[in-house]
C-alpha cells in the first residue's frame, strides 16, 4: 500500500504464537519467562538481519543501533551515540494480555528503520545522528509488581536496593532473576551514560481505551493515529488483611475473623469512593488469599489496587479514604490491616515541542490525528522526567486492552509505521 508495505504485519505475524495462554486467553509473557526471552531473541535476530549493532545494558535493556556511517561521524562510535534518537517499547505482557501492547512498538520501530534505510539509500534522507531501537524489561510489572522497572532503574526513578528486593510470586527476587539472566545486580541502577545516549525518545503504542473509537471518531475519515499529550498519574498499593485461619465447617459464623470479608468490603469501597471523583480510575485486579483453600477460612488476604487520576493530590486523597475504610472493615471483622505503597508515578505532560513535531509528522498520514491523553503507563512516561519523550498511538477498534480482545487492523499498523518513520526522519 505504501513504502512501509506490510513489514510490520509480517513481524507481528512471526511472533503470534509466542506466549499464548490457553487458560487465560491471549498472551502471558512475563519478563524473562521463556516466551519473553523468545521475543528478545527474535528482536536481536531481526536487528542483526538489518545490520544493527545490538547490546544489552546493565539494566537488561536491549539496544539496536543504526549508527551514522563512519565517514559521517565527527567523533568515536561511542561519542556519536550520545544524544541519539531512540524509539522502542517492551515485549513483556500482563497475564492474559493482548498481542499489541508493547510488541507493536518494537515491530513498528524495526519496520520504520527499513523505511528510513530506503530513504537514505535513495538520497531523500540525510541523518545528523544515530537511531536506536530499545526494548525495556518488565514494563508491565506483572512479575515483580513495579511497572516500567527497566526505565525506572535507568533513570533512577526507583532505588536499586528497592528494585533488587522485589519478589515474584515464587519468592524469587528481581536481583536473583537478573543474575540468572547474566546481569550483575551490583551494577544495576541509574545509568547516566545510557541516559545521555537518549536525545529524544518516541514510543509507538496501541491505543488502550476508547480514545480513537469514541462516538465522535466513528465517522468516515476518523483518525487511525493520535499523538500523546499526558499520562494520568498512577500507582499501586497493597493492603494485607490479617485474620484467623480456621476450619470452614467447624467455625461458627460468629466466631470468625475472616480477612476475605474485610478485603471484599474494601473492593466495593474502592469502586464507591473512586466514583465520587469524576476522572478517577481505581481497580482491584488481584486478590490473594493465604493459604487459599475452599474449606479454609483464610489467615491473610493481600489486595492490590491500582489508582489513577490526573491530579496527584486527588489520587493521594482517594488512597487515604480507601485506607481509612479498609481499616474500619478490618476492625469490624476482628482483623488487622497494613498498607504498602508499591509504586507511584505522577501525571506526565509530554514534551510540548516534541509533541508538536510528532503531530505535524503524524498528520501527513492521518490529517485529523488528535492529541490524546491516556490512562495507561509507559516507559515514555517514566523517561519523560529525564529526557524529552513523546508517543504515537494506533487505533484499537475494540477499545479493550490488557485483555485478548485488544486489536489493531493491519492497515492501521502500516499507517503507524509510516507516521513513525516520518516523525523519526523529521527528528533525525
Judged by the rule CB under 5 A, the positions of this chain that interact with Mn ion are 101-102, 377
Q: Annotation-wise, does 140 bind a ligand? A: yes
Q: Annotation-wise, does 325 bind a ligand? A: no
Name which of 131 and 147 has its Cβ closer to Mn ion: 147
Q: Does residue 259 belong to the site contacting ligand GLV (CB under 6 A)?
A: no
| Cα distances (angstroms) measured from residue 116 to each of 34, 269, 382, 416 | 32, 52, 27, 14
The residue written with cell numbers 544524544 in the block is 83
Q: Does residue 95 belong to the site contacting ligand GLV (CB under 6 A)?
A: no
Name which of 102 and 150 has its Cβ closer to Mn ion: 102
Q: Annotation-wise, does 101 bind a ligand? A: yes
Q: Which residue is nearest to Mn ion (CB)?
A: 101
Q: Does residue 204 belong to the site contacting ligand GLV (CB under 6 A)?
A: no
Name which of 150 and 377 has its Cβ closer to ligand GLV: 377
Q: Does residue 377 belong to the site contacting ligand GLV (CB under 6 A)?
A: yes
Q: Does residue 140 belong to the site contacting ligand GLV (CB under 6 A)?
A: yes
CB of 316 to ligand GLV, least distance (A): 18
Q: Does residue 18 belong to the site contacting ligand GLV (CB under 6 A)?
A: no
Q: Does residue 147 belong to the site contacting ligand GLV (CB under 6 A)?
A: yes
CB of 367 to Mn ion, least distance (A): 26
Q: Does residue 97 belong to the site contacting ligand GLV (CB under 6 A)?
A: no
Q: Annotation-wise, does 275 bind a ligand? A: no
Helices 410-427 and 352-365: crossing angle, nearest 10°? 130
- Cβ proximity of 320 and 237 under 8 Å: no
Q: Which residue is nearest to ligand GLV (CB)?
A: 377
Question: Which listed residue (376, 384, 386, 419) binds ligand GLV by CB under 6 A?
Answer: 376
Contacts to ligand GLV by CB under 6 A = 140, 147, 376-377
Binding-site residues sit at 90, 101, 140, 205, 236, 295, 308, 402
Binding-site residues for Zn(2+) sit at 90, 101, 140, 205, 402
Amino acid at each position: 500500500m505504501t513504502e512501509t508495505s506490510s513489514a510490520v504485519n509480517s513481524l507481528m505475524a512471526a511472533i503470534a504464537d509466542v506466549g499464548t495462554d490457553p487458560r487465560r486467553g491471549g498472551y502471558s509473557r512475563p519478563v524473562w519467562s521463556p516466551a519473553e526471552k523468545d521475543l528478545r531473541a527474535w528482536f536481536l535476530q531481526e536487528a542483526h538481519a538489518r545490520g544493527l549493532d545490538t547490546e544489552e545494558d546493565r539494566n537488561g535493556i536491549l539496544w539496536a543501533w543504526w549508527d551514522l556511517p563512519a565517514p559521517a561521524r565527527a567523533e568515536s562510535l561511542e561519542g556519536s551515540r550520545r544524544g541519539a534518537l531512540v524509539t522502542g517499547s517492551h515485549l513483556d505482557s500482563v497475564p492474559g494480555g493482548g498481542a499489541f501492547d508493547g510488541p507493536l512498538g518494537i515491530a513498528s520501530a524495526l519496520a520504520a528503520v527499513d523505511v528510513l534505510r530506503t530513504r537514505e539509500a535513495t538520497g531523500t534522507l540525510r541523518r545528523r545522528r544515530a537511531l536506536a531501537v530499545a526494548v525495556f524489561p518488565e514494563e508491565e510489572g506483572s512479575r515483580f509488581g513495579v511497572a516500567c522497572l527497566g526505565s525506572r532503574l535507568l533513570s533512577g526513578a526507583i532505588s536499586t536496593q528497592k528494585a533488587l528486593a522485589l519478589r515474584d510470586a515464587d519468592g524469587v527476587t528481581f536481583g536473583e532473576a537478573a543474575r540468572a539472566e547474566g546481569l550483575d545486580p551490583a551494577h544495576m541502577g541509574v545509568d547516566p551514560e545510557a541516559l545521555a545516549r537518549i536525545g529524544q525518545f518516541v514510543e509507538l503504542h496501541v491505543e488502550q481505551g476508547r480514545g480513537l473509537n469514541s462516538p465522535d471518531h466513528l465517522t468516515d475519515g476518523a483518525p487511525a493515529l493520535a499523538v500523546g499529550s499526558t499520562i494520568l498519574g498512577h500507582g499501586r498499593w497493597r493492603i494485607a488483611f490479617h485474620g484467623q485461619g480456621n476450619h470452614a465447617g467447624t467455625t461458627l459464623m460468629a466466631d470468625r475473623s475472616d480477612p476475605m470479608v474485610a478485603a471484599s468490603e474494601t473492593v466495593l469501597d474502592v469502586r464507591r469512593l473512586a466514583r465520587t471523583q469524576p476522572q478517577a480510575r481505581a481497580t482491584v485486579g488481584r486478590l490473594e488469599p493465604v493459604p487459599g483453600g475452599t474449606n479454609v477460612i483464610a489467615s491473610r488476604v493481600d489486595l492490590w489496587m491500582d489508582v489513577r487520576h490526573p491530579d496527584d493530590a486527588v489520587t493521594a486523597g482517594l488512597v487515604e479514604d480507601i485506607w481509612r475504610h479498609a481499616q474500619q472493615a478490618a476492625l469490624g471483622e476482628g482483623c488487622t490491616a497494613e498498607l504498602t505503597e508499591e509504586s507511584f508515578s505522577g501525571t506526565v505532560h509530554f514534551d510540548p515541542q516534541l509533541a508538536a513535531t510528532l503531530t505535524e509528522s503524524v498528520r501527513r498520514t492521518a490529517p485529523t490525528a488528535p492529541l490524546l491523553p491516556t490512562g495507561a503507563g509507559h516507559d515514555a512516561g517514566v523517561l519523560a522526567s529525564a529526557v524529552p519523550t513523546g508517543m504515537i498511538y494506533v487505533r484499537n477498534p475494540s477499545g479493550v486492552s490488557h485483555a485478548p480482545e485488544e486489536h489493531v487492523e493491519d492497515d492501521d499498523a502500516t499507517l503507524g509505521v509510516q507516521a513513525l518513520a516520518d516523525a523519526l526522519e523529521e527528528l533525525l
